[in-house]
Amino acid sequence: MSDGLNGIPDAVRAGQPTVWRNPHGRPAAEILPGLAYGLAEVAEAEARWRRFDPLLARLFPELATGRIDSPLLCLGPDVAAHVAGFAGARVLVKADHDLPVTGCIKARGGVYEVLVQAEALARRGGWLRTGDSYARLAEPDARDAFAAYTIAVGSTGNLGFSVGVMARALGFAVEVHMSHDAKAWKKQRLRDLGARVVEHAGDYGSAVAAARAAFADRPDAHFVDDESSVDLFLGYATAAFDLRRQLAEAEVTVDGANPLHVYLPCGVGGAPGGVTLGLKLLFGDAVRCIFVEPVAAPCLLVQLAEGLEHPVSVYDIGLDNRTAADGLAVSQASMLVAGTVGPLVEAVVTVEDTALFTWLRDLWEQAGLRLEPSAAAAFAAVGPRLTLSPEARGGTHVVWTTGGALLPEAEFRTALGLGIR
């Protein structure tokens, strides 16, 4: 092609739904030992979450134990057959659309990164003594100290909300940079929390870049960088421990003979990438991770297809990054994610907006799941992927629903009405 990007299939360029099997995929055993982050780092992140359990339980009454996790649901046989395209399919839902406190997967990274900052500040300030419960950080003196510090983030909405909820609950000042076309209700929800919302004329990537520049030299602030934060990445990765525990409780075996296929909506790549790292560390290649992107914004697909030499955006191949899946409207993938877990991604499936709305409606009517368009994406990917890879049918399929429970009623009703019968 004249743009010199030769690895990208014509159907992807044409904005058609595609199943792209990653030709650069490598075995976990070959890739994991060479990565900068391994089980030790993810286990350390998990231990940090547990240290914060008493504080989270104190700040958010809906968290009985302080643990922010979602249920693992088993779809009934008819819905499972509808999703997978054949009778007898085993389909589970990792219901992060219903994650407590924030109603979206981005909490796993966003809340976690705020906790990392809070812990570092508290240790530096001597507000936590050995043996203290972290619940102490909800006391007025700690809140007053946090108030002198700003947590900033660039976001399509859900990361900003997750960071905003946690940071405001601790007393931090919060500044969220968003693209002009980010959903109005997501901006309003942040303002209601007391966050400052800064709007940018360009897309999500330019909002992130502007915020990064604005906070580069601010000793009184921390910028949560959706494109390159290791803390976000490790926070997402800890989800693998939750899923492993729930699979064991549900008596689902995961091994070479019983593979687990996990379908993950992908925006900049942090959430699906972190989850993939965690799952590969725990299960190796018994887990296959399939990323799902809108046809207009397949940023990780184009980056993986072209290799890691230089960043490639969806604009470079003539796509416009316009999608109703606002959380996935990202033109350029995280190079941290592409470089870390790229070879561990089994396939990327691209889906049309019409399919998102139809699945959103079907899952509401047939299973009572309240999803936002981005979160319905993974359902649209299962059937096409299994048509191309029928040998994968026998395993267990986990659809990761990534957001939606906190969607305002009017937004949800509008989305429901857009599904095609």
Ligand X SMILES: Cc1ncc(COP(=O)(O)O)c(C=O)c1O
Interacting residues toward ligand X by CB under 6 A: 104-106, 156, 158-159, 265-272, 327-328, 372, 374-375, 402-403
| Residue 290 C-beta: closest distance to ligand X, Å | 14
Closer residue to ligand X in complex, CB, 101/268: 268
Closer residue to ligand X in complex, CB, 205/267: 267
| Residue 104 C-beta: closest distance to ligand X, Å | 5
| Residue 296 C-beta: closest distance to ligand X, Å | 15
| Residue 291 C-beta: closest distance to ligand X, Å | 8
Strand partners, 265: 292
Q: Which residues touch 404 (CB under 8 Å, ≥6 apart)?
A: 97, 98, 103, 104, 369, 370, 371, 372, 375, 412
Contact (CB, 8 A) for 105 and 403:
yes
**331 CB neighbour count, 10 Å cutoff:** 23
| Residue 329 C-beta: closest distance to ligand X, Å | 9
Closer residue to ligand X in complex, CB, 353/372: 372
What Rg value do the Cα atoms of the chain yield, rounded? 20
Burial class (CB in 10 A: 0-12, 13-18, 19+), 34: exposed
Strand partners, 294: 351
Closer residue to ligand X in complex, CB, 104/170: 104
| Residue 160 C-beta: closest distance to ligand X, Å | 9
Closer residue to ligand X in complex, CB, 110/419: 110
Closer residue to ligand X in complex, CB, 342/403: 403
Q: In terms of DSSP bridges, do strands 221-224 and 150-155 run parallel, antiparallel, or are they unpaired? A: parallel
Describe the chain by its helix, strand, coil percentages, rounded to 5. Answer: 50, 15, 35
Strand partners, 261: 288, 397
